[in-house]
């Protein structure tokens, strides 16, 4: 490791900090710097002064203390997937939890403990060995940290609730360098706040989740031609909310990748579809899907069948590797009137790039039965979380796909509840954050004032202390 002099931070102090870490401290002159500062979204290009790759909680405490004592901007990096790149900052210190990936399953208590830098692939791999799972997202390379702290929507939402609904405990290094465990019994105000309030309150070094007996699911994508999109969306809107919690399905407009294993006649085509997950008894799956399969004649692609849960979780990882350009827009919806569906068809069938997409995730079922104020995630009465993403490996597409995402979002926004899922937003200003947290915003600002009164943790969808 090279230690270089910078005007703002004393060189000796950096030496001392680095020497005390079990992990590594990376600086701009180090060969690994450009790799270490990269995040998943290649649109983000930030240059921190220091990256502390923490090996354990002691390293995290040292990093928090160093940042506070030297008045440094702090970014916390879990899996590095955040759309606006809130796991990295310019000039300040990145507390990178990537080396902290330990996962321990307790099969008797039916819980899993995951360190702050674990990905969902790490968790799913560990829990599947015991025939169990906890709800997460739909791409397994996403970090447990950011996804959980923002809420967590995925294939198991209707059955098991959001990820935060399954969080039992979190070990958190606070701005003053102390560490507390937050749970229903200990620091309940902090436990409430971290279940949706993001990385505003401290660095979570360990999460404890409830597990469910979910092993093999009957799941996968079912695609139809886009000329059926309006019919499919209207049917989906009416059908899914009335279906049992065991059936989850998120709607998408998407482009079929031009290569195997996809059928050649679909290569490069824009389609609409639903990615289904059935967690009910496997011997009832065929009868559950028979009417769905018959609804519009045979689907153009039907890859719904029995799958080990981690296979479903990793199914889309190869399509979305790190290093693409991403632009996100999001909203929540209570209803999808026919006019809104017409707007979806108008814009969703005009994807600007092969990887761009629109998803409607159901957030009813178990997630919808939690009170709006039970956690900061205040849109529990909404039925859908919409996300419109422009994605491309080529930066030359950025302007076009950003314009498409904004126009699409504007067309649907009048039908929305006014807030969006924090983990599907870019940096969109304080008004959007307030709309997202709604009636919970004020309580979040006062918990913030208790645990982080100087706003040390501000590289996030920031909630300023009141």
Ligand X SMILES: Cc1cc2nc3c(=O)[nH]c(=O)nc-3n(C[C@H](O)[C@H](O)[C@H](O)COP(=O)(O)OP(=O)(O)OC[C@H]3O[C@@H](n4cnc5c(N)ncnc54)[C@H](O)[C@@H]3O)c2cc1C
Among 23, 48, 79, 220, the residue binding ligand X under the rule CB under 6 A is 79
Rounded CA separation 247/272 (Å):
19
Which listed residue (23, 48, 152, 368) binds ligand X by CB under 6 A?
152
In a 3-state reduction of DSSP, which class is residue 171?
A: strand
Tokens of 262: 């996809």
Strand partners, 449: none
Answer whether the bond into residue 165 is a cis peptide, omega within 30°: no
Identify which range of 76-84, 124-132, 286-294, 444-452 contacts ligand X by CB under 6 A.
Answer: 76-84
Any contact of residue 203 with ligand X (CB under 6 A)? yes
CB 452 within 8 A of CB 465: yes
**Does residue 278 sit in helix, strand or coil?**
strand
Instruction: Spell out, one character per residue from 180 to 199, where the chain touches ligand X: x when CB under 6 A holds, - when not.
Output: ------------------xx
**CA end-to-end span of the chain, whole Å?**
41
CA triple 163-164-165, angle to 5 deg: 90
Nearest to 263 by CA among 228, 302, 226, 296: 302
What angle separates helix 229-239 from helix 338-348, to the nearest 10 degrees?
130
At residue 321's C-alpha, the angle toward residues 319 and 323, to 5°, is 130
Asked whether 78 and 145 are in contact (CB, 8 A), the reply is: yes
Binding segment for ligand X (CB under 6 A), chosen from 21-29, 134-142, 210-218, 270-278, is 134-142
137 touches ligand X (CB under 6 A): yes
Three-state DSSP class for residue 370: coil
Least CB distance to ligand X at residue 145 (A): 2
Q: Are 155 and 129 in contact (CB under 8 A)?
A: no
Q: Is 153 in the site for ligand X (CB under 6 A)?
A: yes
Query: Between residues 39 and 271, which has the closer beta carbon with respect to ligand X?
Result: 39
Q: How far is the CB of 305 from ligand X (least distance, A)?
A: 21
Return the residue of 143, 196, 197, 354 that touches ligand X, per CB under 6 A: 143
β partners of residue 217: 307
Is residue 86 part of the contact set for ligand X (CB under 6 A)? yes
Radius of gyration of the chain from Cα atoms?
Answer: 22
Q: In the complex, what is the shortest distance from the CB of residue 430 to ligand X, in angstroms, rounded to a whole number?
A: 16
Q: Examine residue 83 and tell whether it contacts ligand X (CB under 6 A).
A: yes
Q: Can residue 149 be called a binding residue for ligand X (CB under 6 A)?
A: yes
Q: Does the footprint of ligand X cover residue 23 (CB under 6 A)?
A: no
Is residue 60 part of the contact set for ligand X (CB under 6 A)?
A: no
> Nearer Cβ to ligand X, position 39 or 226?
39
Q: Does 78 bind ligand X (CB under 6 A)?
A: yes
Which segment (140-148, 182-190, 431-439, 444-452) binds ligand X by CB under 6 A?
140-148
Distance CA 141, CA 122 (A): 9
Smallest distance from ligand X to CB 166, Å: 13
Q: By CB under 6 A, which span of 6-14, 22-30, 151-159, 208-216 interacts with ligand X?
A: 151-159
Tell me the C-alpha distance between 203 and 199, whole Å. Answer: 7
Residues 405-424 that bind ligand X (CB under 6 A): 423
CB of residue 262 to ligand X, shortest distance in Å: 19
Q: Which of 320, 333, 441, 451 binds ligand X (CB under 6 A)?
A: 320
Q: In sequence order, what DSSP letters do the residues of 396-429 get, joined into one string?
A: GGHHHHHHHHHHHHHHHGGGS-S---GGG--S--
Number of residues in contact with ligand X, rule: CB under 6 A?
A: 36
Q: Is 87 in the site for ligand X (CB under 6 A)?
A: yes
Q: How far apart are CA 437 and CA 124, in angstroms?
A: 29
Binding window for ligand X (CB under 6 A); candidates: 82-90, 239-247, 265-273, 284-292: 82-90
Shortest reach from residue 294's CB to ligand X, in Å: 29
Is there binding between residue 248 and ligand X (CB under 6 A)?
no
Work out whether 160 is an interface residue with ligand X (CB under 6 A).
no
Single out the residue of 40, 332, 409, 451 in contact with ligand X (rule: CB under 6 A). Answer: 40
Decide if 143 contacts 96 (C-beta within 8 A): no
* Residue 53 or 228 having the CB closest to ligand X: 53
Q: Report, in Å, the least distance between residue 60 CB and ligand X.
A: 9
Copy the structure tokens of residue 422. Answer: 């924090």
C-beta of 23 vs 145, nearer to ligand X: 145
Strands 93-96 and 50-53: parallel
Answer yes or no whether residue 80 interacts with ligand X by CB under 6 A.
Answer: yes
Shortest Cβ 201–ligand X spacing (Å): 8
Looking up tokens 């039916």 gives 110
Sort 130 into a burial class: Cβ within 10 Å, 0-12 / 13-18 / 19+. Answer: middle
What does the binding site for ligand X look like in residue numbers (CB under 6 A)? 39-40, 76-83, 86-87, 97, 116, 137-139, 142-143, 145-147, 149-154, 198-199, 203-204, 320, 423, 459-460
């Amino acid at each position: 490791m090279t230690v270089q002099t910078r005007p703002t931070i004393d060189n000796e102090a950096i030496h001392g900090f680095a020497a005390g870490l079990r992990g590594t401290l990376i600086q701009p002159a180090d060969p690994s710097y450009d790799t270490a500062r990269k995040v998943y979204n290649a649109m983000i290009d930030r240059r921190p002064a220091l990256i502390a790759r923490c090996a354990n909680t002691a390293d995290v405490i040292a990093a928090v203390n160093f940042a506070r004592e030297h008045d440094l901007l702090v970014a916390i990096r879990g899996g590095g997937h955040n759309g606006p790149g809130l796991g990295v900052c310019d000039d300040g210190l990145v507390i990178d939890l990537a080396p902290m990936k330990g996962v321990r399953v307790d099969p008797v208590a039916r819980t899993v403990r995951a360190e702050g830098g674990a990905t969902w692939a790490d968790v799913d791999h560990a829990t599947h060995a015991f025939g169990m799972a906890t709800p997460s997202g739909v791409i397994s390379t996403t970090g447990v940290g950011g996804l959980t702290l923002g809420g967590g929507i995925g294939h198991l939402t209707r059955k098991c609730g959001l990820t935060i609904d399954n969080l039992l405990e979190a070990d958190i290094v606070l701005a003053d360098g102390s560490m507390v465990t937050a749970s229903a019994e200990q620091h309940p105000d902090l436990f409430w706040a971290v279940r949706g309030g993001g990385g505003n309150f401290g660095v979570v070094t360990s999460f404890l989740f409830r597990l469910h007996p979910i092993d093999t699911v009957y799941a996968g994508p079912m695609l139809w031609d886009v000329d059926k999109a309006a019919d499919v969306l209207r049917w989906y809107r009416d059908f899914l909310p009335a279906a049992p919690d065991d059936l989850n399905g998120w709607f998408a407009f998407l482009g079929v990748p031009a290569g195997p294993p996809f059928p050649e006649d679909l290569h490069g085509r824009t389609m609409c579809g639903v990615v289904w997950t059935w967690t009910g008894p496997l011997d009832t799956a065929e009868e559950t899907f028979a009417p769905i399969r018959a609804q519009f004649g045979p689907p153009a692609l039907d890859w719904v069948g029995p799958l080990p849960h981690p296979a479903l979780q990793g199914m889309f990882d190869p399509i979305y590797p790190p290093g693409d350009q991403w632009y996100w827009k999001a909203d929540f919806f209570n209803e999808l009137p026919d006019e809104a569906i017409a707007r979806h068809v108008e814009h969703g069938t005009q994807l600007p790039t092969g990887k761009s997409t629109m998803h409607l995730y159901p957030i009813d079922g178990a997630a919808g039965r939690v009170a709006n104020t039970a956690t900061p995630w205040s849109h529990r009465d909404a039925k859908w979380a919409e996300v419109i993403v422009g994605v491309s490996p080529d930066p030359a597409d950025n302007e076009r796909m950003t314009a498409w995402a904004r126009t699409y979002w504007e067309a649907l926004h009048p039908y929305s509840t006014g807030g969006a899922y924090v983990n599907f937003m870019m940096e969109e200003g304080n008004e959007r954050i307030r709309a997202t947290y709604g009636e919970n915003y004020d309580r979040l600002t006062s918990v913030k004032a208790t645990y982080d009164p100087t706003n040390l943790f501000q590289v996030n969808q920031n909630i300023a202390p009141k």
